[in-house]
Amino acid sequence: MGFFDNIRSIFKRGTDDSTATQETASPARTGAVSLLTSAGAELQIATVYRCVNLLADSVANLPIQYMRLKGDIFVEDRVSRLHYVLNVQPCSYMSAVDFWRQVVQYLLLNGNAYIVPVYDFVAMDISELKLVSPTAVSHDTYNNKYTVTDVKAGVSMTLDESEIIHIKNYTKDGKNGLSTLSFARTTLDITSTGDKETLNRFANGGNVRGIVSNDTSVRGFGEYQDKELEKTATDLDGRFRNGERIVSLPGQVQFSPISLSSTDMQFLETRKFSVREICRFFGVHPSFVFDDTSNNYKSAEMANVAFLSNTLNPILRKIENELHRKLVAPTLCCKRKFQFDRRGLYACDLESRIKYQAQTIAAGIYTVNEWRREENKPPIEGGDTVLVSANLKGITEAGKPAQPAQEPNNEPKEPNEDGQE
């Protein structure tokens, strides 16, 4: 059975119940493969693993700022308990990096991520954030209740919608998220089938395929001969698998090898198509999964911009909005906010970072010392001065002609009455 025959078999499951009673051929000889059935099997597909880890690591590497309004600007509050919980240790058994990485993995693979806030009513502050498994949460959408029974996280209770942080992936009803994998199921099945077909081909010792036949027949012994041929075929298959290259055939039995078909030769092209299909589902450019060989600097730059704005930023906004909605009182919603520090995304691209710093200093957005503090450098004298370009002028002066420069007066001054100039 060829590669595309295996793929076609995906869509034929359960269509003919009569086949269940028929004698099935050896899976080893037919090349039949199973689909994704075990938990976490999707991560065995390299493209899925790379896309999920890329998104999860990108979010986990960004610090979350808890901001308070002071005057007309928001200032990060680094002394609050929330800052420690969000950026250092959300709970007793997990660091902040592992915590947010797991949140994004749950979001992409399960469609939902659930976080239970635990409060210290003595200190009147948040104590920790407990991340619970999506499989341990039952959501009653009618009554808007969440029943959580996660033994590992130590949470067993029923919560109102306002008492649990529920971050959703793509959703159709606004109440439950859907896994990205649920939409990519057909593509994942094809990719998994291709991976297992490749494994079978290598395991088959060169993929020797052929037909065992016997042109001579004896009247009255057809069924007996068929069983003997089946037995001979099984024996040949096992000997080829064991590495034997030359085997003997009994009697009038003939072995006719089968060459690869044109559809089997398209195997690599199909795998490349599947890789790009998976990237489309996750919103990740193929260059990020090391698949795009025709990449250049300009296209890589555009891919980075598209990834940050179209793929990563929506995930960050979902987390920011849900934290704001559940951890900030409605009366303070305009005076508090949560914000990922997206400047960390450019930390490794030194050229873009330096260019951005120079442009913000020239535009008067940042001072030199403000950027030096970001780089953990001591302030310098005069570094707190706001600088602007000398070519800029006010909008009210845009239509006025430029004033001519006054020439210096070098004529000698006449002496006064005292004889002095």
pLDDT in tens, 235-244: 766 766 665 5
How does pLDDT run across 296-315, given as a tens digit for each residue? 656 677 778 888 889 999 99
pLDDT at 315: 96
pLDDT at 388: 76
* Tokens coding 161: 């919608």
pLDDT at 115: 96
250 has pLDDT over 80:
no
177 has pLDDT over 90:
yes
Residue 11 pLDDT grade (very low, low, confident, very high; cuts 50, 70, 90)? very low
137 has pLDDT over 70:
yes
Residue 230 pLDDT grade (very low, low, confident, very high; cuts 50, 70, 90)? confident
pLDDT at 348: 62
pLDDT at 396: 61
295 has pLDDT over 80:
no
Q: Mean pLDDT lowest for which of 26-40, 192-206, 265-279, 301-315?
A: 26-40
Q: Mean pLDDT lowest for which of 38-52, 353-367, 390-404?
A: 390-404
Domain assignments of the chain as residue spans, ordered by start: 1-6+34-201+274-345, 349-390
How does pLDDT run across 32-68, given as a tens digit for each residue? 344 454 556 677 778 889 999 999 999 999 999 999 9
pLDDT at 15: 40
* 26-38 residues labelled b (16+ CB within 10 A) or e (exposed): eeebebbbeebee
373 has pLDDT over 90:
no
pLDDT at 262: 47
Residue 270 pLDDT grade (very low, low, confident, very high; cuts 50, 70, 90)? low
How does pLDDT run across 159-173, given as a tens digit for each residue? 999 999 999 999 999
265 has pLDDT over 50:
no
pLDDT at 201: 59
The residue that leads in pLDDT, 32 or 349, is 349
Q: What is the largest CA-CA distance in the chain?
A: 150
Q: Mean pLDDT lowest for which of 198-202, 216-220, 387-391?
A: 216-220
What is the average pLDDT score of the chain?
Answer: 76
99 has pLDDT over 90:
yes
pLDDT at 235: 73
194-220: average pLDDT: 55
pLDDT at 195: 63
pLDDT at 357: 85
245-252: average pLDDT: 56
321 has pLDDT over 70:
yes
